[in-house]
Structure 1
Amino acid sequence: MHTAIVLFTRDLRVHDHPALAAACANAEQVVPLFVLDPHLQRLSANRARFLHQSLADLRETLRRLGGDLVIRTGDPVAEAIKLATEVGAEGIALSADVSGYARRRQQRLEQECEQHRISLRLFPGTTVVPPGEVRPGGGADHYKVFSPYYRAWESAKWRDEVATPARVVLPPEVSPGELPEAPAGESPAAAAGGETEGRRRLTTWLRHVGPYDDLHNDMPADGTSRLSAYLRFGCVSPLAVATAVRALDGPGPAAFVRQLGWRDFYYQVTAAFPAISTEAYRRAGDGEWRADPEALRHWQEGTTGVPVVDAGMRQLRAEGWMHNRARLITASFLTKHLGVDWRPGVRWFFRWLIDGDVPNNSGNWQWVAGTGNDTKPYRRFNPIRQAERFDPDGVYVRRYVPELASVPGKAVHQPWRLPDTVRSGLDYPGPLESHRDEAVWLRP
C-alpha cells in the first residue's frame, strides 16, 4: 500500500497503537489524522482542554518520528474521506470503540469507504481484552455479572504489545493544519493531558502500586493511580498498563488489575447495550424517581449539608476528578437518599470528569442506582458510616470543605450534632430540609 490514514479518536499515543503500527508497517506513507468534532468539544470544557493538551503532545511525538499530526475540524467521517481523496489513500485504520456515537461513526465510515473504494480496518486498542472476545455460554452476547466475566477475562490470551513505529513518513503535499489554542476548562486543579505525562505517571505508579489493596478506598490517602483520564483518552495503552502491573507480585497489583477488568467489563456491556447513558439496563430497578430540582442543585454545588457528599462534589469541580469511593457515596446519596433520577447525575459527572466516558461513567451510575449490573440492586451507601470508615479523621472532608476546618476528628462528619454555640459559628448549611431526619443518615 502506498498511502494510509490513521484516524485517531480515543487513542492519543504512539506506544502500543495497533492501528498506527500496522499502517506504518504496510504503507509507504502514513497520515495520522485527528478531526475536532464541534459537537464533542461542547460536552465538557475540562475534557476539551485535556484533549487539546494530548493532541499537542501527540503532534510533538509524531514530529520526532518524522511525521506530523494532521488536524481538521468538522465531521470526522467527511473529513477523513476528503483527506483520503486528496492524498490518494488506499486505506484507513481506526481503533474500534463501543459507544453509540463511536459505532455510528464507524458504520458511516464503512459505508463511505465502500463507496469510495477505500479499505477500512478496525483494530483493538481501547481495552485490554476487546469487547466480545470472551462470551458466556448459552449464546449470550455479553456477560451481565462481573465475577464470571473477570474469570474469563483473566484467563483470556491477551494480545502482545506493539512497538512504537521507528518512523512515520507523511506525504509531502499534506498541510498539517493548526491546533486551536486549548480551552480554559472549568476545573482549576485539573491534570494535564498527553502521552508523555501519562507514561510518566504510569512509571511512578508502578513503584507505588504495592499497597493499593489497602489504600484504594482510603479517601485522604489518595492512594490511587490517577491514570483514569489517560486511559479514557488512550494516552496510555490499557493493555500496557495491565501487563506492567500484572508482572508485579502481591495483592496490590492484583487488586489494581481487577479494576482494569471492571473497565473492560463495562465496555463489553456498552457494546451490547449502547443506550447505557439514557436507558435503564435493568428496567425493573428504574422506579419512581422524585422530581426535586432544588435538591439536585444542592447536590451539584456541594451544599447538601452532608460533609462527605459535599467534599466529593467539590473535589469534582476543583479537579475534574473524584476519588472512586466518593463517586459511590455521592451517586448513592443522589439516587438512594434523595431519590433523584440517575440520569441527571450521569450528565453532571460527564460535564466535569476528565475521565468521563460512556461505558464507565454510565455503567457505574447504573450500578449504584440499582438499574445496572449490581447483583444487589437495593444496596445503599450510608454516607456517615462510609465517611467514618474511609475518612476516619475527617482529613478528606476538611481538605475540600474548608468551612469545617476547625471541627476536630470524626465530629466533622455530623456537624449538626455539634453544640449550638459551635454550630452557629460555622458557615456551613444543615442537611437539606426534606432530609433532616437523622434516621436517613443512620439507616443501613
Structure 2
Amino acid sequence: MTETTLLWLRQDLRLHDQPALVAAAHAGPVIPVYILDDDAPGQWRIGGAQRWWLHHSLDALGKELAAKHSRLILRRGDAVAILRQLLADTGATRIHAIRHYEPWWRKQEDALGDVLDLYDGNRLSRVEDVTTGAGTPFRVFSSFWRALQAQLPPEQPLPVPRTIPAPEHWPESDALADWDLLPTKPDWSTAFAKDWTPGEAEALVKAKDFPDEVAAYDRRRNLPSEEGTSRLSPHLHHGEVSPRTVYHALGHDAAAAAFLRELAWRDFTAGVLLALPDYGSVNGRRKYDALPWRDDAAAKRDLKAWQQGRTGYPIVDAGMRQLWQSGWMHNRVRMITASFLVKHLLVNWREGERWFWDCLIDADYGNNSVNWQWIAGTGVDANMFGRIMAPLGQSEKFEAGDYIREWVPELADLSDETIHDPDAHGVRPDAYPAKIIGHREGRERALAAAKTLG
C-alpha cells in the first residue's frame, strides 16, 4: 500500500540530502508545500532582503520539482491550519518535514502533534545529542565544538529520489508573483542579482568549488578586499544545501578545519535557541538589562548615520553600504560595524540586530542574535563589553583599502596610507562626512557606561 503525504518545506529548499523528501517519496505520492506564514514569527517575520531571496529560491525549486514531474504548492497564512486543511482536502495521512529550532517553528511542530514526522537534516548533528554532562545544550562554543567533533563526520548526504510520486489530484496553489516578495517603489535590490543566484543549483556549485580555496580560508576570511569566504551562508540559511553536503565536499583534514569550525557555529546557535528561545530580544547576561544605552535624539541620528554608512569611519561605512546594496557583508566587517554601533555609539544591540535582520539575505535568527550578543558582551558566550574594537586599526591591519574604494567611492582616489583615516591625514573629501565621534571619546563613554553596572 502507498499513502499520500505532505512534504512541509521551510528553510530546507532543496532536493539533495532532503531526508523528509526521501521518506515521503518512499511512502507514496508526495505533495510538496511551502507556506508563507508571517504571523507565527511575530517580530521575526522575514525581512526584505530575505524575501527577495525567497522569491527566487522558490521559483528555482518549483522548476526542479517540475523536472521531476512534481509541483510546489504555495499557500499563505497560518501554517498549522493550512496543513490540517490540506490533510483533509487531499486525503494525505502524514506530514514529513525537517526539524527546525526557531521558537515559532517548534511551537507549530508541537501543535501538529503525531501527524508530523520530523527528520534531522539542517545541522551537522542532531542538536539534542550534543549536550553537556547534565544533558543540557552548551552555552560556550569551545566546549560545544569539542563535543561535536566526537560525533563527526556526519552521515553521507542522501541522493535525490529517482522519482517523486505525484498524487492523482493536486491541490490549488497560490501564484508566487502574487506574494509581492520582490521590492518595488523603489526597487532597492537591483544590485542583488549581480552578486547572487539563489537556488540549489548554485549552492551545489559553490560547495563543489570551495574546496579549492579552503586551505587559504583561515587567512583570507579576515581580508575584506579579497574573495576569501565561501559565500555559502545564504544558501545554508535557506536550506538550499545541507551542512553535511558541504562537510563531505570539503573533507575533514587540517586544511578545512577553520571553515568547519565556522560551519559548526550554526549548530551551536541552534542549541542556544533550544535553551533560550527568546535570545533575540533578551540579554543572555541579565545584569546588562541595566546598561544605560543612549536613546535620545542624538542617538537616533547616530543610528541613522550608521545605517546609511555615513559615520566618517571608512571601514564601517563600506560595510554598511555593502549590506544595503548587496544584502550581505563580509564577516570581519560585520564584527567591526556591530562593535562600532554598540560600543562607540552606545546604541542598544537590538537596534543593530533588527537592521541586519531586515537587510541580510542570510539573516538567521540563531546566528544573528548570538553574534550580536557576542559583540555586545551581553550573551552567554560573549566578548567582554570592555573589549572595544578599534575600527581604524582593524581597517589597516586587515588591508581593507580596496574594499573601501569599492563601497565608498568618495574615497577611491586616496592612498593605502590615508584611506583608513582620511581625517587624521587631512585628506577627507568634502563629499565624505567627518567622524561622528572620536575613537577615544567613544571608548571612554562605553567604559563609563559599563562601570555603572558595578
TM-score by length of 1: 0.91
Secondary structure class of the residue paired with 1:411:
coil
2:262 is matched with 259
1:35 is matched with 35
What is the rounded CA distance, in whole Å, between the counterparts of 2:147 and 2:254 in structure 1? 21
5 Å-filtered alignment, 1:396-415, equals: 396-415=403-422
1:105 Cα deviation after fit: 1.7
Q: Judging changes above 3 Å, is the alpha-carbon distance between structure 1 residues 130 and 44 closer, same or farther for their aligned structure 2 residues? A: same
2:191 is matched with 189
Secondary structure class of the residue paired with 2:97:
strand
Aligned counterpart for 1:203 among listed residues 168, 192, 208: 208
1:42 Cα deviation after fit: 6.3
1:172 Cα deviation after fit: 2.1
- 2:141 matches 1:146: yes
- 2:377 matches 1:370: yes
What is the rounded CA distance, in whole Å, between the counterparts of 2:329 and 2:172 in structure 1? 36
What is the rounded CA distance, in whole Å, between the counterparts of 2:413 and 2:243 in structure 1? 42
Matched-pair contact (CA < 8 Å) for 1:215–1:224: yes
Specify the code of the residue in structure 2 equivalent to 1:165: P
Secondary structure class of the residue paired with 1:93:
strand
Secondary structure class of the residue paired with 1:417:
coil
- 2:13 matches 1:8: no
1:63 is matched with 66
Matched-pair contact (CA < 8 Å) for 1:246–1:257: no
Matched-pair contact (CA < 8 Å) for 1:45–1:186: no
5 Å-filtered alignment, 1:2-151, equals: 2-25=3-26, 27-39=27-39, 43-110=46-113, 119-137=115-133, 139-151=134-146
**1:155-211 Cα shifts (integer Å, max 9, x gaps):** 115233222111111212114524322513633332221111111222221222221
Specify the code of the residue in structure 2 equivalent to 1:390: F
What is the rounded CA distance, in whole Å, between the counterparts of 2:439 and 2:138 in structure 1? 40
**1:393-434 Cα shifts (integer Å, max 9, x gaps):** x11111111111121113111111123xx43x43111011xx
The gaps in structure 1 that reach 5 residues or longer are none
1:385 Cα deviation after fit: 1.2
What is the rounded CA distance, in whole Å, between the counterparts of 2:443 and 2:424 in structure 1? 12
1:334 is matched with 341
What is the rounded CA distance, in whole Å, between the counterparts of 1:140 and 1:369 in structure 2? 28
Between the two proteins, the alignment pairs up a number of residues equal to 427
What is the rounded CA distance, in whole Å, between the counterparts of 1:365 and 1:269 in structure 2? 13
Matched-pair contact (CA < 8 Å) for 2:103–2:277: yes
What is the rounded CA distance, in whole Å, between the counterparts of 2:324 and 2:71 in structure 1? 34
What is the rounded CA distance, in whole Å, between the counterparts of 2:210 and 2:188 in structure 1? 27
5 Å-filtered alignment, 1:373-388, equals: 373-374=380-381, 376-378=383-385, 379-388=387-396
**1:111-131 Cα shifts (integer Å, max 9, x gaps):** xxx5xxxx2111111211121
What is the rounded CA distance, in whole Å, between the counterparts of 2:349 and 2:440 in structure 1? 24
Aligned counterpart for 2:151 among listed residues 151, 156, 172: 156
What is the rounded CA distance, in whole Å, between the counterparts of 1:229 and 1:203 in structure 2? 16
Matched-pair contact (CA < 8 Å) for 2:32–2:71: yes
Specify the code of the residue in structure 1 equivalent to 2:182: P
- 2:431 matches 1:427: yes
1:303 is matched with 310
Secondary structure class of the residue paired with 2:419:
helix
What is the rounded CA distance, in whole Å, between the counterparts of 1:438 and 1:147 in structure 2? 32
RMSD: 2.0
5 Å-filtered alignment, 1:153-302, equals: 153-157=148-152, 158-175=154-171, 177-181=173-177, 183-184=182-183, 186-190=188-192, 191-247=196-252, 249-251=253-255, 253-286=256-289, 287-291=291-295, 292-302=299-309
Deviates more, 1:35-44 or 1:144-153: 35-44
1:289 Cα deviation after fit: 1.2
Secondary structure class of the residue paired with 1:183:
coil
**1:223-253 Cα shifts (integer Å, max 9, x gaps):** 1010000000000011111222134x443x1
Aligned counterpart for 2:322 among listed residues 282, 298, 315: 315
Specify the code of the residue in structure 2 equivalent to 1:8: L
1:267 Cα deviation after fit: 1.0
TM-score by length of 2: 0.89
1:337 Cα deviation after fit: 1.2
1:273 Cα deviation after fit: 0.7
Give me the identity figure in percent: 37
**1:257-313 Cα shifts (integer Å, max 9, x gaps):** 010111111111111111011001122244221111111111111111111111110
